[in-house]
Copies of this chain bind each other. A is one copy, B any other.
Amino acid sequence: MHVVVNAAMSVDGKLSSRRREQIAISGPDDFDRVDQLRADSDAVMVGVGTILADDPSLTVDDADRRAARADRGKPENPARVVADSRIRTPPDATVLDGRAQTYLLVSEAAPPDFIEEMEDAGAYVIAAGQDQVDLTTTLAKLEGDGIDQLMVEGGGELIFGLLEEALVDELFVYIGSKVIGGRDAPTLADGDGFIEDFPEPELAGVERVDDGVVLHWQF
């Protein structure tokens, strides 16, 4: 499986302010780049923190891109994947609106009645990991289901979890011309953080887009 992380951060590495509201960091050209990346992926993944904060749809915005996917014999939208150990995703979340197949990656600590509720809402539930989702195992299962290119759209907790398991192949970071600041604001990679053996990706591309720049890192 090929895992591509994409996120937009401020000048100082933040995905949002300490209030964890969605903040417009990028512009129209970057939005278009991200939409293409989505259209090129078999599935788009986020952590439950992003579901709760932003309630994203994770679908392809451009109708031509959806049509092109259909022409290739694919579903109009890539599948959606949420890492959600104990099922905090609300049943009325937009990712459960039926516009695309949705996977919920959960842990063994997920309450069985919540699992049932999610399955009733149309989600495929994959369980692995004791208290938190075992990302290596669940991504391997997704690959077994035909998901070869997985795009990850954040947030910082999930991105760190994937980096910790060495599951990330590529990282696209749009850096926008805003400073957010804040020692408690979410950053591109949160979690416990590394203290040694820092992952050292290669800088494969630098491109100015909108008022900012896209850095492309390869692991």
Contact = CB atoms under 8 A, between A and B. Distances in A.
A203 B164 CA distance: 32
A213 B215 contact: yes
A178 B19 CA distance: 27
B188 A193 contact: no
Nearest to A212: B203
Q: What 10 pairs between A and B have smallest CB-CB spacing?
A: A13-B13, A182-B193, A12-B188, A181-B193, A12-B189, A181-B189, A183-B190, A178-B198, A179-B199, A160-B181
A68 interface: no
Interface string A190-219: 111111001111110010100111010100
A76 to B, nearest CB: 33
A24 to B, nearest CB: 10
A193 B180 contact: yes
A151 interface: no
Interface string A98-137: 0000000000000000000000000000000000000000
Given A12-B156, A179-B189, 13 more contacts: A11-B215, A12-B187, A12-B189, A13-B187, A17-B193, A163-B179, A175-B215, A177-B201, A180-B194, A181-B192, A185-B193, A206-B208, A206-B213
A18 interface: yes
Contact of A187 (B14, B23, B191): B14
A19 B215 contact: no
